[in-house]
Structure 1
Amino acid sequence: TWDETYRGAFAWSEPETQAIHNFVHGHDIKYALSFHTYGDLYLYPWGYYYGTSPDNSHFRDIAQVMSADNNYTYGPTSSTLYLVNGECTDWLYGEQGTKEKIFGYTVEIGDWFWPSRGEIPGLVEENMEPTFYFIEQAGGLHDGDVPLELMNTPSTIQRGSRAEWDAHVRNVAGEDLSVDSWVHVTSTSLPVEGVTKVLAEGRLVPSGYDDTVLVGGLMPLSAPIGSYTFTQRIGDRATGEIYGEDVFTAVVQ
């Protein structure tokens, strides 16, 4: 039997799908892209019936940003393309008994199942920036689950005064997190009470959180004069896991 859309005789009947099943269960995956041909589409659950998932707004918001670069159409598979069961992203997201939910998208690229060799560079180019954006939402290797961006940081800090700055905080982990936030100073010779105190302890940062908050601490009068690097971290102090961090340098005087 030959069919361009053959799905197999039964669930996990093919070695390729078995490999995907085993790989997903063997790794901690939060987000996934599955590239296919064709149609210029970003597809997400549900595919098996005409309805939207509980996280439809999250799926939609990410797809909307990605499509701004390449004008791809986006939406649930069922209403955007056609009804289909046994589809990968439905399983990635919907199966939450043997694994955590995964925000999976199908990306349909090109105008036919077999793009010509000359079309491939253009298809890669139009998907490059959206894919980088998607990796950022997934946390990536650099940003972590709660990326931090410090803004309006002080260049000088007076001893005996309070230093303040803005922290842009996002939660791209795909789940609610209870986090601690603290400031670390590079030199152990600098008294750290107040400056390195926990800025937020056990704060709930919901999935999709995106806001700017004012943070800071008191610089002790006894602090030695000098230039120091300050690192703000968000994570779980009990386990030592860091979800995100950013740094700035200031002169204490």
Structure 2
Amino acid sequence: MKKIVLIILIFTFSLLLAEKMVVRIDDPSSQTFRYFQEKNYDIASYNPDKYLDLVVTQEQYNQLQKAYDIKVTQTEQELKTNLRNSKELDYYRNYEEVLAELQSLEETYPDICKLYDIGETQGKIYSEEGHTFYDNYNHEIWALKVSDNVEQQEDEPGIYYLGPHHSREPLSTEVVMTNLLHILENYGSDATITANVDNSQIWFVPIVNPNGHKIVIDENDVWWRKNMRDNNNDHNFDTDYYSGYGDDGVDVNRNYGWEWGLVGASDNINDPTYHGPEPFSEPETETIKQFMADNHFVAGIGYHTYGQLVLYPYGYTSGAYAPDHEAISTLGIEMANMIPGHDGGSYTPQNAWELYSSTGGIDDYAYGEHGIFSYTIELATEFIPPASVVSQVTQNNIDAAMHLLDRVNHSTLTGHITDETTGLPVQAQVYIPEIDDYNAYKNHTVPMQILVDIIACCHRGNTMFTIKLMDMKLKIYL
């Protein structure tokens, strides 16, 4: 009996050592942050000069205690309890529930909803290759489009709302779904929402990383951040609680092809910010890359946890401001002021690099490659808030999401080129020398007179030729 009790005690103690937690260092210096970033610690959240949160094992906690005044803010058991309680209250949705709800919404609102399978996951690829371990991870990535004439690709501005890139951030899915339901339930009765649906292409991707989302929702590893890439080719999912990371997975928000593989991303497969073997190596990021190429997006939000922040490009290096900085930051400030903070006040807006520099992220790619006003909203004050908090956070984020949607149809230069005789559309290129040649648009708060050339391709019989139609002088106020 004593041996059995001793074995049980040893086993229980080893499990406790294996469990991770979030610890907080108050008032960290920039040097302190850089130290932990360079050591590839799992950084949960950071607010410069206020706090630094790290995901650590018990062993790491014991070491940190010797050098820092730290306190535990989240435990593994707390996160699991929050997930279990949420199941009783219909929060947090799993993959199957999200897909079923999207299918139901498409049936309920057929005139303005269309569901698309936009890509696959690592789990699906491995499963179809015959690796049976991944059969339960045979996930697609789904997107719901909302617009009038939803079957058509109309000449309208697009906007996206993206759920979790990172596995341990399931609250992101709930915010995307809440935004979606708010629009659908108010279409036809709210004049602004109705006009925006009728004049925009609105896309919702509730889960960008379905494999990782399942890992967390099923409590296989509630701290998991990455996807399921099989880095060591053993056809299994490997997570190492003692190191806190595991051999498998890629941080899909370090895998985009804009300033890829530099600061804030790791070459080590074990690290939580492992950037992958090359840009867009992951089917999840390749899916979003193609998604952006196929649609005319002008703005979008990707939701994460946590920190109560609204971030905007650039993030790849300190001091990097977007050419549209005045416009993109003003809009970010407006959105942040609309989101109530947990303990009063509102969310904090800032350039992504002001939080910390990182490379290979979606916002830098979306803006740098496509000119999309792409924002990250860091929700709440912990990775997986209790179910009682979920509804409050999701409702608090509606106004900011609707504000961005409303702005998509304002402060833009639009128009159509048509044949004078037939009235039919003519394929044309709008060329602005001051912008295309000289980048002379760094400060949009100052009125700027620019020359616009419109060049169209025309057919006369069997001959196709190019003609410069007109010059226009415009004053642009953004």
Match of 2:336 in 1: 67
Structure 1 residue matching 2:349: 3-state secondary structure: strand
- 1:127 maps onto 2:416 in alignment: no
Q: 2:477 and 2:371 mapped to 1: Cα distance?
A: 13
Which structure 1 segments of 5+ residues have no match? Answer: 148-175, 179-201, 209-253
Partner residue of 1:118 out of 388, 397, 405: 388
TM-fit CA distance, 1:10: 2.2
Q: Which has the higher helix share?
A: 2
Q: 1:117 and 1:17 mapped to 2: Cα distance?
A: 30
Match of 1:102 in 2: 372
TM-fit CA distance, 1:4: 4.5
CA deviations 1:36-76 (Å, max 9, x no partner) are 11111111111111121111111111011112222111111
Partner residue of 2:301 out of 18, 26, 33: 33
Q: Which has the higher strand share?
A: 1
Counterpart code for 2:324: D
Counterpart code for 1:32: G
Counterpart code for 2:356: Y
Q: 1:61 and 1:144 mapped to 2: Cα distance?
A: 13
CA deviations 1:104-135 (Å, max 9, x no partner) are 11111012222333222111111110110011
Partner residue of 1:91 out of 348, 365, 368: 365
Going from structure 1 to structure 2, the CA distance change for 1:7 and 1:146 (only over 3 Å counts) comes to: same
Q: 2:353 and 2:398 mapped to 1: Cα distance?
A: 26
Q: 1:59 and 1:13 mapped to 2: Cα distance?
A: 29
Given that 1:47 and 1:78 are in contact with CA atoms closer than 8 Å, whether structure 2 keeps it comes out as: yes
TM-fit CA distance, 1:144: 9.1
Q: 2:316 and 2:411 mapped to 1: Cα distance?
A: 33
TM-score if structure 2 supplies the norm length? 0.29
TM-fit CA distance, 1:7: 3.6
Match of 1:53 in 2: 322
Q: 2:316 and 2:309 mapped to 1: Cα distance?
A: 17
Counterpart code for 2:330: D
Given that 1:177 and 1:205 are in contact with CA atoms closer than 8 Å, whether structure 2 keeps it comes out as: no
Q: 1:82 and 1:109 mapped to 2: Cα distance?
A: 17
TM-fit CA distance, 1:203: 6.4
Q: 1:41 and 1:115 mapped to 2: Cα distance?
A: 16
Going from structure 1 to structure 2, the CA distance change for 1:144 and 1:207 (only over 3 Å counts) comes to: closer
TM-fit CA distance, 1:206: 1.6
Q: After the TM superposition, which residues 151-162 of structure 1 pair with which residues of structure 2 at under 5 Å, given as runs?
A: none
Counterpart code for 2:322: S
Match of 1:236 in 2: none
| Count of aligned pairs between the two proteins | 150
Given that 2:312 and 2:350 are in contact with CA atoms closer than 8 Å, whether structure 1 keeps it comes out as: yes
Going from structure 1 to structure 2, the CA distance change for 1:123 and 1:48 (only over 3 Å counts) comes to: same
Going from structure 1 to structure 2, the CA distance change for 1:5 and 1:122 (only over 3 Å counts) comes to: farther
TM-score if structure 1 supplies the norm length? 0.53
Counterpart code for 1:24: M
Match of 1:136 in 2: 406
Structure 2 residue matching 1:33: 3-state secondary structure: strand
Given that 1:45 and 1:77 are in contact with CA atoms closer than 8 Å, whether structure 2 keeps it comes out as: yes
